[in-house]
Amino acid sequence: MASGFRRFGGALRGDGALVKKVAILAWNCWLDNLGSRFYAISIIFGIVILYISLLLGMLAADQELRVLLDFGLGFIELMGLAGAVFGAATAVLREIESKTIYLILTRPVSRSQYLAGRFLGLMFSALVSMLIMAVLHLAILFFKGWTWDRAYLLAFVGIYFKVLITAAVTLFLSLFSSSVLTAMIIAAILWTLGHFLPEIRVMTPWARPALWPLAGLSYVIPDLQLFNLRDRLADPQWPLLAWTGYAFVYSLAWLMLAGFWLRKKEF
């Protein structure tokens, strides 16, 4: 773990070779995703859903724009999440299974660099897919007479941070469990629980011994409702620094753990 921090420090100091290798791996991951059927399907599906949202909007009469906005942002999030979680769950396991990882790890590339590169490539892929859908979504909204609201950008950033956190945890889970399916199922459960944290807190679980495990879990599960600005468009409060810090520190903690797990892994 200490060497992991030293390597991370090297990256922060601008160790060129280290950053360059991470960038090379990230770009390769992006190219890999470009050719992935799942990635293409998630974008196409998202586009189809956005088209279907037009029908729903018509049913809402006066509130057509609101429905288009909510439906579109919701499915941009779900499609972005699906692609990112699938990518995170399969990123390393697939390379181990196919043994393409051998030709990388037998080069002067540390496992942490490898993991960082794969993760950054994955998050870049998620961002691109979400942006494609967002551009189409905005085109539909503007066509229907919507006027730009800064809350949309904040909602999009909030969605991306949720995807970032969930992908980081999924990557760790895939290495911990060595199972794609297990990682994806647990990630889906964490996603759900992460949105219910306010309700869990209201239940005051510490007051009831039977709920103590839930209370403990509530301190570990990422608070995704924090970033759910999509559901608070009417009043998008965003203490930018605090929440951005939360997203990055949380993700980094689980990525470093994933890196540590990968360093111990044998092939």
Partner 1 sequence: MAAEAALSFKSVTKTYGYSHLGHITYSLGVENLSLEVKPGEAFGLLGLNGSGKTTTFKLALGLLKPTSGQVSMLELSQVGFLPELPYFYPFLSPEQSLRFYGRLSGLTEAELAHRVAHALEAVGLAGQRRRKIRELSKGTVQRLGLAQAMLHDPKLMMLDEPVSGLDPLAIKDFRDTLASLNEQGKTLIISSHSISELEKLCHRVGVLKEGRLVRLIEQRQWRQASGGLEGLFVETVRS
Partner 2 sequence: MGRFLSLALALLISAGLNALRPMPMRPEAPALRLEADCAVETASLFALGLKRLAADLGLIRMLIYYGTPQSHEDHHRAEGWHYPQLGPRALRILEIDPAFSYAALYASGALAFNLSRPQEALDLLEHVLKRDPGNRQYQLYIAAIGFQREGNSRKVIELLEPVLNSPDCPTMIKSMMAFLYKKSGQLDKAVRLYQEIIETSRDSGYRGTAERMLAEIRAGRPALPTSRPPTEPRPRK
- List the single partner that 254 binds among partner 1, partner 2, none, CB under 5 to 8 Å by kind: partner 2
Residues lying near partner 1 in the complex (CB under 8 A): 17, 20-21, 24-25, 28, 31-32, 34-35, 98-100, 102-109, 266-267
Nearest to 74 by CA among 208, 186, 207, 195: 195
Nearest CB to partner 2, comparing residues 26 and 193: 193
Smallest distance, partner 1 to C-beta of residue 119, A = 17
By CB under 8 A, the residues from 226 to 255 that bind partner 2 are: 226, 228, 230-235, 237, 239, 242-243, 246, 249-250, 253-254
209 binds, among partner 1, partner 2, none (CB under 5 to 8 A by kind): none
**Which one, 99 or 150, has the nearer CB to partner 1?**
99
* Residues at the interface with partner 2 (CB under 8 A): 1, 56, 58-64, 66-67, 70-71, 74, 77-78, 162, 172, 191-192, 194-196, 198-199, 201-203, 218-226, 228, 230-235, 237, 239, 242-243, 246, 249-250, 253-254, 256-257, 260-261, 264
